[in-house]
Amino acid sequence: MPAYRPLTSIRAMVLLLLVCTVRLLHAQPYTNKAVYDSLDTRHDLSRPLIERYFITSNHHWACFNRGLIAEARITSKEQLELAEQLGIDSLLATASHHVGDAFNGSADAALQLKYFYQGLEYAQRSGSPDYIGTAQKQIATVYKTLGDLPRALGLLKLALANVTWNNQVNRVCCHLSDCYRLMGQPDSALYWAQRSNIITDPGSDPYAYARSYYMLGAAYAAKGERQLAEVHFARAIEIADSFQVMIPLYGSLVARGKMELEAGDIAAAIADGRRAMQVSQAGGNLEGLIGASDLLRRSFKTMGQSDSAYRYFELRVLYADSLINATNLNKLQNMAFAQELKEREEARLKEQAAIDRANNIQFGIIALIVITLGIFLLVFSRTAVVGAKAIKNLSLIALLLFFEFINLLVHPFLGELTHHSPILMLLCMAAIAGLLIPLHHRMEKLITNMLVSKNNRVRLEAARRTIEELEAKPDQAP
């Protein structure tokens, strides 16, 4: 025994090491990083499902950074489908946020909120404060877009109390800075912009890095500190241009150009305006084109070049009309996208309902078999004496189970036949019950008669053995 215990401990330790080794071999370093999937590996079905999810998620992130809205919309739907197959709440939360991002613009705020709140529900189920804070931040961005800045600030502060990931702390602080700047509070805007500057490696999250410097430049510009603003705008432009991050790039160019125009440096303003035009045209960003053309219009007007100013004024009007048309087209695309998501959700719910119904039918069959076997074992047992009351109770349970089994079995057909009319379905189920109850009474009577006969035989046999034992006792006396 003393030699056995150390051997058992050694075996347990070896087994534990083997399990840990297998887990480490299977644990792939899946990370969140914006990587454009140019090789289409996310559709490679030979890869593990979890790997395809992260490739798809990172591809969506890269599409968002590049301003590829249409591709990001398609990718978000694929990401949500993969997350539903995996059934992991944290992944479902992220996928819901990405679907919400696909409904960009204040006109689709209701759809955005629907999926952002769905993401919050998944995040709360996961129990992760970081996912909860991320969802709160996503909801806050909608209210910021709608101009409800106080409500956005409240949600962002709730989010900041939850998030610990650097990339999400950065984004929450950037939104806080933006809200305070829009509210005319440049000191608070600068404070939160400085708190957002926590990404040290631009390659790890170029959007966060560039966005932080963009917010710092905007805050310094709002305070009238041009030199500091120029330094931070220049860094934001450098990183955003290197990593093809659209929003901070054209935003910094236009913001720096406006600041230069106000300071009288018209040549620099025109240079930034033209660069912003090129960047926005390459990315197909109409908002950037409107801002850049307006900056150039004002710059040439200040220089007294009315022809050039009028040319960019016409371009601005053209881009504004295009933005309206694109917004209307985007609404139609979003409606189609929302309908597609709705149909997919309905199909998923029907499939789940069919699975649940099949499981319930199986459970009903098992329960019926168990109860039925129990009754027959009691009836045909040679020794057990069971009262009629017990059989009556068991038969009643069996009747209820059988009725529920019939209900599960015929409910889909009755629904189609009666078009889910409650009255008609109630009448049909009452008719089924009317057929089952007489059958139940006959079966109960038959089983009770069999039980009485069996009990009589058991009692007679017991009495006979008792008499024989009593008669044998005098013979055995000394």
Residue 248 in domain: no
pLDDT of residue 145: 85
Separation in Å, CA 69 to CA 97, 284, 289, 296: 14, 10, 16, 26
* 400 belongs to a structural domain: yes
| Residue 417: C-alpha distances to residues 108, 184, 411 (Å) | 39, 64, 10
66 within a domain of the structure (yes/no): yes
Q: Is residue 150 situated within a structural domain?
A: yes
DSSP 386-444: --HHHHHHHHHHHHHHHHHHHHHHHHHHHHHHHTT-HHHHHHHHHHHHHHHHHHHHHHH
Residue 62 lies in a domain: yes
- For residue 321, what pLDDT is reported? 62
Confidence (pLDDT) at 85: 86
Residue 159 domain flag: yes
Nearest-angstrom CA–CA distance, 418 and 432: 15
Report which residue type is found at 443.
Answer: M
CA distances from 435 to 118, 399, 406, 442 (A): 46, 12, 12, 12
Residue 371 confidence (pLDDT): 59
Of 164, 195, 226, the residue that ends a domain is: 164
The full 3-state SS of 274-341, as one line of letters, equals: HHHHHHHHHHCCHHHHHHHHHHHHHHHHHHCCHHHHHHHHHHHHHHHHHHHHHHHHHHHHHHHHHHHH
Whether the full predicted model's pTM is greater than 0.75, yes or no, is no
| Number of domains the chain is built from | 2
DSSP string, 162-214: H--SHHHHHHHHHHHHHHHHHTT-HHHHHHHHHHH-----TTT-HHHHHHHHH
- Nearest Cα to Cα of residue 344 among 152, 82, 25, 66: 82
Question: How far from 361 is each of 54, 159, 369, 402, 417, CA to CA, in Å?
Answer: 37, 45, 12, 10, 20
Q: Which domain holds residue 468?
A: 360-472
Instruction: Give residue 478's pLDDT.
Output: 47
Domain membership of residue 28 (yes or no) is no
The first and second tokens of residue 365, run together, are 């069959």
Q: Which of 116, 131, 164 lies at the terminal end of a domain, its last residue?
A: 164
- Establish if 14 belongs to a structural domain: no
Query: For residues 415 and 308, what is the distance between their CA atoms, to the nearest angstrom?
Result: 70
Contact 126, 134 (CB under 8 A): no
Phi, psi of 386 (to 5 degrees): -120, 135
Number of H helices, E strands in the chain: 17, 0
Q: Among residues 164, 187, 212, which one ends one of the domains?
A: 164
d(CA 189, CA 184): 9
CATH number reported for the structural domain that contains residue 85 in this entry = 1.25.40.10
Hunting for tokens 């963009």 — which residue is that? Answer: 214
What tens-digit pLDDT sequence spans the chain (478 residues)? Answer: 444 444 444 544 544 444 444 443 344 456 777 788 888 888 888 888 888 999 998 888 888 877 777 788 888 888 888 888 888 888 999 888 888 887 765 456 777 888 898 899 999 998 899 999 999 999 998 899 888 999 999 999 999 999 999 989 999 999 999 999 999 999 999 999 999 999 988 888 898 999 999 999 999 999 989 899 999 999 999 998 888 888 888 888 888 988 888 888 888 888 888 888 888 777 667 677 777 778 888 888 888 888 777 777 777 777 666 655 555 445 555 555 566 666 666 676 777 777 766 766 676 666 656 556 555 545 555 555 555 566 666 666 666 666 666 666 666 667 667 766 777 777 777 787 777 677 767 766 666 666 666 666 666 776 777 777 776 765 554 4
pLDDT in the model for residue 324: 54
